[in-house]
Structure formats: structure tokens, C-alpha cells
């Protein structure tokens, strides 16, 4: 069955800005003469078309009364069939009508546009295919190159409900909740694989430019997952793809939000999706040649999860800051990297962190691992925000008050107090005389360091230097020099 397509315009002419039209066009026939004056279109009874064309279209023009005496309005309704050639020519007629109204000083408001619906319907399958090719590539890349448990519910309010509803808890379900514009971030957003602070430190301490390693410096340049893993097998720059993806996003918004979609929009969407589909399909065909090293897998999973959630992205940044502080704290005391359970245990064994800090670090490490790798866990935004706060607090404490310095601080305090004092006297002296910044748990850190560095306590067995001796309830003294 043939389907008609109807477009309705309201042409508005103001007495002040379009005085000639307002004065001369007092009936529908006058407005027809105005539209056909340029000779590009002609009216034949209730139909309009191009001169010498065998296509013509039903057209009605009605003058509309308005409550304002200084405006004149014409309601234009043009209708055509559903043949492609007919639609194209009618679209050209409509474009000419809009141009003539604008040239005459009027305003053309679109009241109804079946052509927009026609082109939107044709655009949707193209966008749908491209979008889901991207989801397929990301899922295939992550599942086969990084591992099955590749991402957690990084934006819990959005993803948690979806995964909970899925009986099989498929990991790919998460991807189908990612906004179109952010989907490309998973492969094309650039990120640092090394803390940029390390580079600044190297540059600041270098005394000879020739001692700097160019390849090492370049390794700090932010790169996308596409550039890292696909650029060697697919000839397509990540910046080019991202530009095309963003352009498609703008056009997709017109389709999705019921804006007016023109033939030129449809042609542009057809062109862009064709280019992107070709690149995505080549990437899928060549994914067997993509290599992700064991040491890169954690970084890739972390980056993808961060791209899914602003909350988790903040936690990732704070975690990197904590890693930097812990690395500075460790110096050469331990060789266990990266920051994991083994590294944290080594810090504790070397006396560089106390028991409470060790437990906090282990809990945050466990939480981070669950967030990235365990999609079956139920982690909400409040938990993420709490961990962000805890990481920030640890960074502040460790950066300004490393526990290894507290031991020396307590030695100095006891020397100033005559070699022996109560805990309360130690606290008071530190509060009055110490310039060290103190966190809310600084007294607990003092007590721990005394116990850790005294052979009179059980804590000493975890590793310490025998600096202090217990001389009574809540009272401590320095060991004699020959014992220390």
C-alpha cells in the first residue's frame, strides 16, 4: 500500500520586518505568486512542482488569522507519495519554499515533517549496527585478551540492576548500558600507563640531558587502547576514528531525540557508518593478531572500568597517587612490585607501615580488585566514595607522616624528656614541640611504633629495631646504647 508523506509549514511575516509581503500578500493566491516569482517552482491548481517536471505534489495554502494585527501567517501543507525519486524531488520543492520565505523576510516554522520520520527510520538500523559492532569489538577484546572477569559494576546505579536481573549475569550486559558517546572511550580514550609524577621527578633530578632515556620518556605519553593494541594490525588513527564517532553521535542525537532529520543528515550518517563499520569489522577480523602482555592486562581492565564510571575513575586516580607514595616510602627496602598484597606485606615487614595501615591497604586492594574483576559482587556508589576518602586519608598520612619517621621522632622526644616518660607525656611533648602534621590517628601510630620497636612486646616479632623498653604501666624508656 502506498504511503503519503506530509509536511506542514507556518510562514510568518511581520509588518515591520517584512512590510512589502505584509502589505501585498492578503490572500493565499498572493502567497503562491510570491513563492513562484523566482521561477524555480510553479503552482497548477492545488498542486506544486518544478517547471517541466513530470512530478507534482498536492499543496494547500491557507491564510491564518492571528490576534496580532502586525503579523500575517500562511499555513502551507505539501504531500507526496513514498517513491524514492518522488520523495527526493518533493524535498527539493520544500527547500525552495523555505528559501523563498526567508528571502522575503519571513520566518518558516515546521509544524509537521513526515520526511524527518522517513529518514529517521532509515538512519536507525545504520546507527544500530555500528553501535553494536563497537560493543562486540570491546567485549571480544576484553573477554579474549584480558580475561572473563574483566569489569565490575563500575557505575553501580546503572549497571548493578541490569546484572542482577540477568540470570546468567553476562558480562556483555554491562556494555549495553554504556552511553553511545562513552562507548568509544573504552578503546579510544587516551590514558597514562605510568604515573606522570615519575616523569617530572626524573626531569627535575636530571643533571645531564644525555643521561635521559628518550624511549623511557616517550613511554609516559598517554595512549589509547586502540593505539596500543590495534594500530599495528589496523590502518586507522584513533584520533580519526574518534572524530567520526563524535560526528555520528551528534547525528544520532537528532534521530534519538525526535529532531528534524533531513536527507543530508541521512546521507552523512550513511557515509560515516560505512567508514566506521569497515574499520570495526577489520578489527574483529584481525583480533587474533592483537597481543596484550600479562603486565598490561591489569592496566587495560582498570582503564576500561574507569571509562564506565566517573566515581571509579576518581578512585583509580587516587589509587595511583597512593601507589606513588608507597613506592617513595619503600625506596630500596623492598623489590616487590606492583603494589599488591606481597608489596604491602613487605612494607610492613620492613617496618615502613604499621599494622593498622597494612590492614587498610589490604582492604582497599581487595576492594579495587573486586571492582575491576568480580562482576558478581554488589558494590554501590557509597562504598566507592568511602574508599576514595580512605585512600586520600592514607596518602595524606603517608606523605606527611611516614611511620618510619615516627620511630626517630619518639627517640628524640624521649631524649628531650630525660630518656624516660609516660605515653601521656610523649603525646603532650609532640603536640607542643613537633612540627609534624598529624592525622586523626597519630597517637595510635605512636603507640604502635613504640611496641613495634621494643623487644618487651609481642609486636616486636613482626620486625623492628629494639629502641625502647617497657618500664611500667604506660611508661617507656630508651634502650641503652650498647643494646641498640
**What percent of the chain is helix, strand and coil (3-state, nearest 5)?**
60, 10, 30
DSSP assignment string, 86-147: HHHHHHHHHHHHHHHHHHTT-EEEEEEEHHHHHHHHHHHHHHHHHHHHHHHHHHHHIIIII-
423 burial level (CB within 10 Å; 0-12, 13-18, 19+): middle
Among 19, 12, 131, smallest CA distance to 63 is for: 12
pLDDT at 306: 61
Indicate the range of 90-104, 127-141, 267-281 predicted with least confidence: 127-141
Dihedral sign for Cα 209, 210, 212, 213, please. Answer: positive
Q: What is the pLDDT of residue 295?
A: 65
pLDDT in tens, 12-61: 999 888 999 998 999 999 999 999 988 889 999 899 999 888 899 999 99
To which H or E segment does residue 272 belong? Answer: helix 263-285
State the pLDDT at residue 309. Answer: 62
Nearest to residue 306, comparing CAs of 425, 424, 189? Answer: 189
| 77 vs 236, higher pLDDT | 77
Q: Hey, what's the cell of 362?
A: 589490604
Mean pLDDT of the region 244-254: 91
Residues in a beta bridge with 112: 8
Extract long-range pairs of 452-459: CB within 8 Å, 24+ residues apart: 452/351, 452/354, 452/407, 453/351, 453/407, 459/355
Which residue bears the cell 619518639? Answer: 410
Pick the more confident residue, 359 or 464: 359
Asked whether the predicted pLDDT for residue 331 surpasses 60, the reply is no
Q: Judge whether 354 and 449 are in contact, CB under 8 Å.
A: yes
Whether residue 375 has pLDDT greater than 90: no
Q: pLDDT exceeding 70 applies to what percent of the chain?
A: 79
**pLDDT attached to residue 247:** 93
Spatial distance between the Cα atoms of 287 and 233, rounded to a whole number of angstroms: 8
Over residues 181-191, the mean pLDDT reads 76
CB 368 within 8 A of CB 315: yes
Mean pLDDT to the nearest integer, 211-231: 80
Instruction: Using a pLDDT cut of 90, give the percent of the chain over it.
Output: 26
Please, what sign has the CA dihedral across residues 25, 28, 33, 38?
positive
Q: Residues 365, 339: contact at Cβ < 8 Å?
A: yes
Closest-CA residue to 290 (of 219, 216, 227, 223): 227
Q: What's the pLDDT at 80? A: 92
Is residue 332 helix, strand or coil? coil
- Give the range among 143-152, 249-258, 365-374, 387-396 with minimum mean pLDDT: 143-152
pLDDT of residue 10: 95
Phi (first) and psi of residue 61, to 5 degrees: -125, 125
**Rounded distance, CA 177 to CA 164, Å?**
13
**Max mean pLDDT range (260-269, 292-301, 381-390):** 260-269
Rounded CA-CA distance 345/359 in Å is 10
- 8 A C-beta contact, residue 78 and residue 57: yes
The closest of 336, 296, 299 to 319, measured between CA atoms, is 299
Average of per-residue pLDDT across 318-330? 78
Arithmetic mean of pLDDT over the chain: 79
Which range is least confidently modeled, 102-106, 129-133, 208-212? 208-212
State residue 165's pLDDT score: 43
CB 115, CB 88: distance < 8 Å: no
Closest to 174 measured CA to CA, from 376, 451, 442: 376
Q: How far is CA 206 from the centre of its chain?
A: 35
Amino acid at each position: 500500500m502506498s504511503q503519503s508523506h506530509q509536511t506542514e509549514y507556518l510562514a510568518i511575516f511581520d509588518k515591520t520586518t517584512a512590510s512589502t509581503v505584509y502589505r501585498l500578500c492578503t490572500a493565499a493566491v498572493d502567497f503562491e505568486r510570491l513563492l513562484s516569482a523566482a521561477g524555480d517552482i510553479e503552482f497548477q491548481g492545488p498542486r506544486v512542482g518544478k517547471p517541466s517536471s513530470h512530478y507534482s505534489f498536492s499543496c494547500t495554502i491557507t491564510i491564518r488569522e492571528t490576534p496580532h494585527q502586525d503579523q500575517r501567517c500562511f499555513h502551507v501543507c505539501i504531500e507526496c507519495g513514498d517513491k524514492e525519486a518522488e520523495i527526493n524531488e518533493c524535498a527539493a520543492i520544500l527547500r525552495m519554499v523555505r528559501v523563498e520565505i526567508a528571502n522575503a523576510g519571513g520566518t518558516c516554522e515546521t509544524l509537521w515533517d513526515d520526511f524527518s520520520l522517513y529518514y529517521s527510520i532509515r538512519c536507525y538500523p545504520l546507527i544500530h549496527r555500528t553501535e553494536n559492532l563497537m560493543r562486540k569489538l570491546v567485549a571480544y577484546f576484553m573477554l579474549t585478551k584480558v580475561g572473563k572477569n574483566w569489569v565490575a559494576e563500575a557505575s553501580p546505579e546503572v549497571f548493578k540492576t541490569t546484572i542482577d536481573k540477568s540470570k546468567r549475569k553476562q558480562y556483555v550486559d554491562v556494555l549495553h548500558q554504556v552511553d553511545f558517546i562513552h562507548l568509544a572511550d573504552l578503546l579510544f580514550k587516551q590514558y597514562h600507563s605510568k604515573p606522570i609524577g615519575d616523569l617530572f621527578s626524573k626531569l627535575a633530578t636530571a643533571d645531564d640531558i644525555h643521561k635521559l632515556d628518550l624511549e623511557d620518556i616517550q613511554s609516559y605519553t598517554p595512549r589509547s587502547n586502540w593505539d596500543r593494541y590495534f594500530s599495528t594490525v589496523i590502518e586507522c588513527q584513533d584520533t580519526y576514528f574518534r572524530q567520526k564517532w563524535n560526528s555520528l553521535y551528534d547525528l544520532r542525537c537528532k534521530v534519538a531525540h525526535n529532531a528534524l532529520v533531513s536527507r543530508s543528515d541521512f546521507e552523512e550518517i550513511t557515509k560515516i557508518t560505512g567508514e566506521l563499520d569497515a574499520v570495526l569489522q577489520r578489527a574483529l577480523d584481525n583480533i587474533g593478531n592483537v597481543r596484550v602482555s600479562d603486565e598490561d592486562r591489569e592496566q587495560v581492565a582498570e582503564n576500561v572500568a574507569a571509562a564506565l564510571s566517573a566515581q571509579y575513575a576518581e578512585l583509580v586516580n587516587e589509587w595511583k597517587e597512593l601507589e606513588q607514595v608507597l613506592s617513595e616510602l619503600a625506596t630500596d627496602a623492598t623489590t616487590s612490585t606492583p603494589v599488591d598484597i606481597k608489596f604491602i606485606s613487605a612494607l610492613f615487614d620492613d617496618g615502613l607501615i604499621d599494622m593498622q595501615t597494612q590492614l587498610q591497604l589490604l582492604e582497599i586492594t581487595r576492594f579495587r580488585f573486586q571492582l575491576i574483576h568480580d562482576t558478581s559482587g554488589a558494590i554501590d556508589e557509597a562504598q566507592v566514595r568511602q574508599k576514595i576518602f580512605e585512600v586520600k586519608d592514607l596518602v595524606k598520612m603517608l606523605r606527611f607522616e611516614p611511620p618510619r619517621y615516627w620511630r626517630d621522632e619518639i627517640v628524640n622526644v624521649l631524649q628531650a624528656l630525660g630518656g624516660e616518660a609516660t605515653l601521656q607525656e610523649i603525646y603532650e611533648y609532640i603536640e607542643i614541640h613537633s612540627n609534624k602534621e598529624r592525622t586523626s590517628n597519630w597517637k595510635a601510630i605512636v603507640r604502635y611504633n613504640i611496641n613495634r620497636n621494643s623487644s618487651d612486646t609481642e609486636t616486636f616479632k613482626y620486625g623492628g629495631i629494639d629502641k625502647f623498653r617497657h618500664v611500667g604501666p604506660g611508661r617507656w624508656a630508651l634502650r641503652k646504647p650498647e643494646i641498640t
